[in-house]
Structure 1
Amino acid sequence: MTEKFTNPQMKTWWTKRLLSDDYHCAGRLSERQLKLAAEGGFATIFSLFTYPDETNRTELYDSRFDLPSTSQTSDALSMCEDVHFEAILERGVDWRTESTVFKVKELVESYQKPILLYCDNSYASAFLLLAYHAYVTSRRENDEPAVSDRDVFRIGALLGYDFGGDPVLVDLVSKLTGNPRLSRTPSPDTAVSNWYDLYWIMKPVYKEFFICGQFQSNHLQRIAKVGLKVLINCRTGKPNPEETRQPEDVVLLNISGRVDTKGDLTNFFAEEGPNIPFTLDTWGQYADFMKNHPDLGPIMVHCKTGFRAGQLAILAAAYKYDLSSKWVLDRAAILGYKLASERYNKVLEELLEKNVNQDD
């Protein structure tokens, strides 16, 4: 691996962390994302499906954008001597089976971690990694994080996936764990139910709040199709003088200003630079905007890696819905963010000290 892996990664913020830094999922990767995943420290990359050369066009960005086929991906990653790549299933095969979970088990236990498993939209890969953990937990086969049958659906719901909405998956978890079929499963509390089909790289936080890293300018049309109404930019276009800009950065969206409305999207930009510590004053800029625009609809907060956006969006959700500081830290942990700095804790205490603890 080229560098030590930590989460959130500067280069791989678009992956979804599952349980620990060893396991991540994603939707189908672009050539650039493959490069960043290898550079960012993933030792093993699995594609759930095989993608023939003729099925490599996508609408995630625009109609001109091609995604690498499995053979192209294999060729590209073969040049990275520290990265193992493998495709698991033929495209079109039903992945919702015990045999698929057992195949995932065989692979993840055979290759070096951290592991990234991707599929079309991140849904199937997230389920399979959680189902694998539930299976080994039920048999106490290793020291991986313990996951119960209910945890598969609970954690999935917290990440925005409605696994319980598919009776095949409910039956499958019952078979894998040997437990009775769950009669009720948690559902995601998100304003956009099928967000992963439309724009898998963003992450649901709670209800109308979503977060994202610094996306490309040609993603805006897709973002509008998701149904998002507000973009809150935690970057202002002021580069960090200590940061070496990469040539690819020029294609990313990084606009300065204050409030700007284009079509159905309202954009809000803070005055603070990208690396200013999060304080009550920082919070006040965004709080005033949200107070003055309470009914705009689903909100996506974005920054370079999603970390600063996560600080704001999780706090904003807790503040709006009277949730506790414990809820903030628990939700951050599910998303893979460690927010428990002394400065951030002071902000939580000031804003949320009267709120009762809320369980997930």
Structure 2
Amino acid sequence: MIKNRTFLTIAFSAVFYKNGIRVMTTSAANPKIIDEIRTTITRKSPGLNSPMKLWWAKQVTEDYFVAGRLSRRQLQYASEGGFKSIISLFTYKNHKDCCLGKEYLPSTIEMASHAKEVGLQFRTVLDESNGSSSVDLKLEQSLRNIPKPVLLFSDRGHSATYALFMFLLKNSIETTDFSMDKAVAMSEVLGMDLSMKCTNQKLCKVAGENLDFPKLNVLPKNWLEYWPAIPVYKNWFVAGQILESHIPLIKKAGFKSVVNLRAGTTHKGKPSQEKVNLLNIEDGRRADVDEYVGARQSLLRQEMIDPNNSNSSQHYASSNLEEFGDTIGYNEEMERSAFRKAGFPYYHLPVVNSEPFSAELFALYEPELMDAVNRGPVLVHCASSKRAGYVAVLAAAVKNQQDLTWALTRLSELGLAISPSKKPDVYEMYTKVLSKEWKNKYHQKNSQKNCGQCSNT
């Protein structure tokens, strides 16, 4: 059995043969050069068919996604959101590390049983009888003739990413021409550092190309301690709705503040609670703000995904305290209170779904965003990571003096492509904020403002 799965890639090391390997570049380790020459990655919007429930599933190709070790809840979300198959890179026997926050992480046997209950194919690549040397063949066998899309997971997603790259490079003709330069670009997009000599050489040998993976400039270095986070640029990260019990993990990973873009309980004097995720309840429905719980229960019954799914005595979940849900929906005040109790810097900058993005809104929030990132690595979140992505990429561009082309490319890599016809309000916000005129008018003035939205006590 492999005892150190976190560094599984070390066990995959192989001798590097120059003969027969096409040399592409020897200067790729320079981050500036990498940024200029790398292949452009375009991905679909996060979350497959259920953005609120599956924002953490990270797309590598059209059919293959990676993740860290899954909870029972996430496994069911995967089924509800459109995945057909789940593959575990390792065999798990639950000992001391069987929880992520309050979420129980099932053993392999338990996961296989639950996957069958919710209609998912489930396979395991490595068990106690085979070592890491057979991972190439074992993963290829696991992926053959399996329904797609497929979610491959490991402890934190790093080993799963590496193993999937091996498979895709080895079978590039059959898997949409996954080349070495695309692997390098994708590793940067995912924030997965594959620059270790053993991993780099093994991937080069499989691909028949010599291309260095760069050492990633991502902070915090241990961000994979909270693997659901999505890297944006340097110390900017985004996420969908986080769980209350994950707050200690976020702190442990090295994040210094959290920015919440979800609507509060009211907006302009009217109820504005957003929906909270509920098992076996369809994603994307508008929150029911009726104060009478009975009326809401009737609505939930109409929104059930599978009436025969017996995940609870009611066949659906009616509340979700871990995601700060009350009897109506998501309650921002509960999240604010949890962060205050943890003594963790927290900013609430609501971006209401019913209102368009605008340069003026960004200008209003810019001082708080800059204050947050000046503390260190910041995690910006909303319900599905989309609003967070639009705001965080723009904030990162402003902070690091990047231009519009860079920002639009980064959005496309995150699956959030915009144009004058696609999300025109977001596109207009970007063009204004990143123009020279706007920079002269707002950025200097905002940098001198004091911030008043942080709740850290």
TM-score range, shorter chain: 0.7 to 0.9
Moved over 6 A (4+): 257-260
- RMSD of aligned Cα (Å): 2.7
The answer for the alignment partner of 1:13 in structure 2 is 55
Using the alignment, how far apart are the partners of 2:168 and 2:399 within structure 1?
34
List runs of 5+ in structure 1 lacking aligned partners: 356-360
| Aligned 8 A contact 1:127 1:156 in 2 | no
The answer for the alignment partner of 1:358 in structure 2 is none
Alignment of 1:293-312 (within 5 A): 295-312=374-391
The answer for the alignment partner of 2:111 in structure 1 is 73
From the superposition, tell whether residues 236 and 151 of structure 1 become closer, same or farther in structure 2 (CA, over 3 Å). Answer: same
| Aligned 8 A contact 2:255 2:379 in 1 | yes
Cα offset for 1:135? 2.0
| Aligned 8 A contact 2:50 2:81 in 1 | no
| Aligned 8 A contact 2:219 2:234 in 1 | yes
Letter of the structure 1 residue corresponding to residue 431 of structure 2? E
| Aligned 8 A contact 1:234 1:274 in 2 | no
Give secondary structure in 2 for the equivalent of 1:106. helix
The answer for the alignment partner of 2:403 in structure 1 is 324
State yes or no: 1:251 paired with 2:322.
yes
Rg (Cα) greater in structure: 2
Alignment of 1:5-84 (within 5 A): 6=48, 9-20=51-62, 22-52=63-93, 54-55=94-95, 57-58=97-98, 60-62=100-102, 65-81=103-119, 83-84=120-121
Using the alignment, how far apart are the partners of 1:131 and 1:330 within structure 2?
26
Letter of the structure 2 residue corresponding to residue 215 of structure 1? I
From the superposition, tell whether residues 156 and 86 of structure 1 become closer, same or farther in structure 2 (CA, over 3 Å). Answer: same
Give secondary structure in 2 for the equivalent of 1:78. helix
Alignment of 1:172-211 (within 5 A): 172-180=202-210, 182=211, 184-196=212-224, 198-211=225-238
Cα offset for 1:262? 5.9
The answer for the alignment partner of 1:88 in structure 2 is 125
Using the alignment, how far apart are the partners of 1:293 and 1:199 within structure 2?
19
Task: Using CA pairs under 8 Å that are at least 6 residues apart, name the structure with larger relative contact order, 1 or 2.
Answer: 2
State yes or no: 1:159 paired with 2:194.
no
Cα offset for 1:290? 2.6
Letter of the structure 2 residue corresponding to residue 37 of structure 1? A
From the superposition, tell whether residues 23 and 282 of structure 1 become closer, same or farther in structure 2 (CA, over 3 Å). Answer: farther
Give secondary structure in 2 for the equivalent of 1:247. coil
| Aligned 8 A contact 2:226 2:249 in 1 | yes
Pick the structure with more strand per residue.
Answer: 1
Using the alignment, how far apart are the partners of 2:130 and 2:401 within structure 1?
45
Cα offset for 1:293? 5.3
| Aligned 8 A contact 2:258 2:381 in 1 | yes
Give secondary structure in 2 for the equivalent of 1:174. helix
| Aligned 8 A contact 2:244 2:322 in 1 | yes
State yes or no: 1:235 paired with 2:262.
yes
Give secondary structure in 2 for the equivalent of 1:46. strand
The answer for the alignment partner of 1:346 in structure 2 is 428
From the superposition, tell whether residues 94 and 266 of structure 1 become closer, same or farther in structure 2 (CA, over 3 Å). Answer: farther
Alignment of 1:260-271 (within 5 A): 265-271=344-350
From the superposition, tell whether residues 333 and 19 of structure 1 become closer, same or farther in structure 2 (CA, over 3 Å). Answer: farther
Using the alignment, how far apart are the partners of 2:144 and 2:359 within structure 1?
45
Alignment of 1:92-111 (within 5 A): 95=132, 97=133, 99-111=134-146
Deviations 1:256-311 (A, max 9, x none): 49998666621110244355332223312321213455621111001111111111
Using the alignment, how far apart are the partners of 1:318 and 1:91 within structure 2?
47
Cα offset for 1:200? 0.5
Give secondary structure in 2 for the equivalent of 1:164. coil
Letter of the structure 2 residue corresponding to residue 68 of structure 1? P
| Aligned 8 A contact 1:101 1:131 in 2 | yes
Letter of the structure 1 residue corresponding to residue 345 of structure 2? T
Q: Sequence identity of aligned pairs in percent?
A: 29
State yes or no: 1:333 paired with 2:412.
yes
Using the alignment, how far apart are the partners of 1:294 and 1:301 within structure 2?
10
Q: What TM-score do you get using the length of structure 1 for normalisation?
A: 0.84
